[in-house]
Structure 1
């Protein structure tokens, strides 16, 4: 399986976020890497509230969180399905999150009783899906000061779940990876034809194992690419990028970017270049 990305794809204003929090990624234990792409940790200690925004990947995330300034609050676990729109999290005071990001298509074997579309757009207590995620598990993951101890606790929890092999999950992961890495994948019909599937079969597979449609995944990865380049390139040719991403014209890219991120791409790029 591909290694987790080390870029900031999906993070809106990554410079602003990384100036305020400690953000790290770690690889899970080898037996978990087939289904789990990466662990991600964020710790913060803020003098004033900050709202972070993310254009989510087509991934399910399992997080263990602790709002340290809340004297009455205990660490807790949360399962978050694919968020269809912009995901916003308000960070205040001191806190930390330890997350496991499943590969798109890789979560279903851990909860085989329901299609992944069942979790799409939802965030719910992790213990509702995995009873073992209650009790002392959240505290064992988030309270250690050392990252290696947190990684070990996440590894131990996920290894205890021991999902059964599922060839359809393997197929779904391969198909999403194809979409993610191959810019020539622009239409669902072309992807279905290439893979020897009917469009309907492809749609059912994505609903069951990814949680969103193949068209949604294609569009989301386009926006991730545009968002990343808008924040890092001063000489971006938007018309050329639109064509490269498979849009009919620059206006269609601008419309999708604005709908997803909340601001037009040129305005976002201009703000990203300001000190």
Structure 2
């Protein structure tokens, strides 16, 4: 998974880092993402995301939130000065935080975890290595909260690797074959540990890759891109784009490399 995949307009990002988990948390988080911002008064910076099909556990301003997978692009307007430390969770961490990830789709809940907020906030205090200290504290908390990863959780991790990782499966049936399970088992794992279907995960991966490739190659042919990513045709890609991002692929490509307009962000 690349550094800016899922970020629709990287040119608008404030200072932003993705750091790997530590120790036993490697089975529990894909990475930790840390934006830090200091925006002039009267200005804001809009961050547009087409998120991974996963849950995020986030510490910000002393509050811990758990957000679910999304069915559409989302945004947030940053202003003033601040930071956040979020964990893109692997499925193995989910059961310790919620027994119904499907209820969290397009939503977020506050989590009672004052100890996590305090530990991460202490790590983020100014000084060299503050991000690394925060990640160490977050990793330790996750490992303690979740405990040993059982067989079903490990299998759910493997499911996400097959559907979202390098050389990912193109169909649900291919994913099931690779994991030596039935399609029904695959669907049950996805619902229990992610909250969305395997087919939805594949669609999201394709859309993220389509957006990334359009952003990086202004001359890319849309018909060829649609075929390479497994869309039925160019029209199918356009419909998916409009449904999730709210704009057509050509419109997105035209504006993806631009800095935000005056007054909209740094």
Using the size of structure 2 for normalisation, the TM-score is: 0.86
Question: In the alignment, which residue of structure 2 is the partner of 1:36?
Answer: 29
Q: CA RMSD in A?
A: 2.2
Question: In the alignment, which residue of structure 2 is the partner of 1:58?
Answer: 53
- 3-state SS, counterpart of residue 256 of structure 2: helix
- Which runs of structure 2 are paired with 1:63-142 in the superposition (5 Å)? 63-66=58-61, 75-103=62-90, 105-111=91-97, 114-127=99-112, 130=113, 132-133=115-116, 136-137=118-119, 139-142=121-124
User: For 1:131 and 1:164, how far apart are their aligned partners in 2?
Assistant: 23
- Which runs of structure 2 are paired with 1:218-229 in the superposition (5 Å)? 218-229=202-213
Query: What are the superposed Cα offsets for residues 51-78 of structure 1, whole Å, 9 maximum, x if unpaired?
Result: 2110010121111113xxxxxxxx2111
Q: Is the 8 A contact 2:21 2:135 kept in 1?
A: yes
- Which runs of structure 2 are paired with 1:189-268 in the superposition (5 Å)? 189-268=173-252
User: For 2:141 and 2:170, how far apart are their aligned partners in 1?
Assistant: 38
Q: Is the 8 A contact 1:97 1:142 kept in 2?
A: no
Deviation at 1:234, TM superposition (A): 2.0
The structure-2 alpha-carbon separation of the partners of 1:202 and 1:159, relative to structure 1 and needing over 3 Å to count, comes to closer
Query: What are the superposed Cα offsets for residues 4-61 of structure 1, whole Å, 9 maximum, x if unpaired?
Result: x3431111111122xxx11012122122101211111111011201221100101211
* Pair 1:27-2:9 in alignment: no
Alignment gaps of 5+ in structure 1? 67-74
Deviation at 1:181, TM superposition (A): 3.5
The structure-2 alpha-carbon separation of the partners of 1:184 and 1:94, relative to structure 1 and needing over 3 Å to count, comes to closer
User: For 1:38 and 1:158, how far apart are their aligned partners in 2?
Assistant: 12
- 3-state SS, counterpart of residue 27 of structure 2: coil
Question: In the alignment, which residue of structure 2 is the partner of 1:10?
Answer: 6
Alignment gaps of 5+ in structure 2? 260-266
The structure-2 alpha-carbon separation of the partners of 1:119 and 1:132, relative to structure 1 and needing over 3 Å to count, comes to farther
* Pair 1:272-2:256 in alignment: yes
- 3-state SS, counterpart of residue 18 of structure 2: strand
User: For 1:140 and 1:234, how far apart are their aligned partners in 2?
Assistant: 43
Query: What are the superposed Cα offsets for residues 217-248 of structure 1, whole Å, 9 maximum, x if unpaired?
Result: 00000001001001111221111111111111
Query: What are the superposed Cα offsets for residues 67-105 of structure 1, whole Å, 9 maximum, x if unpaired?
Result: xxxxxxxx21111111222121111111110111112x2
User: For 1:227 and 1:56, how far apart are their aligned partners in 2?
Assistant: 12
- 3-state SS, counterpart of residue 33 of structure 1: helix
Q: Which has the higher contact order (CA 8 A, sep 6+)?
A: 2
Q: Is the 8 A contact 2:162 2:168 kept in 1?
A: no
Deviation at 1:151, TM superposition (A): 2.2
User: For 1:274 and 1:109, how far apart are their aligned partners in 2?
Assistant: 40
Q: May I ask how many residue pairs the two structures share in their alignment? A: 255
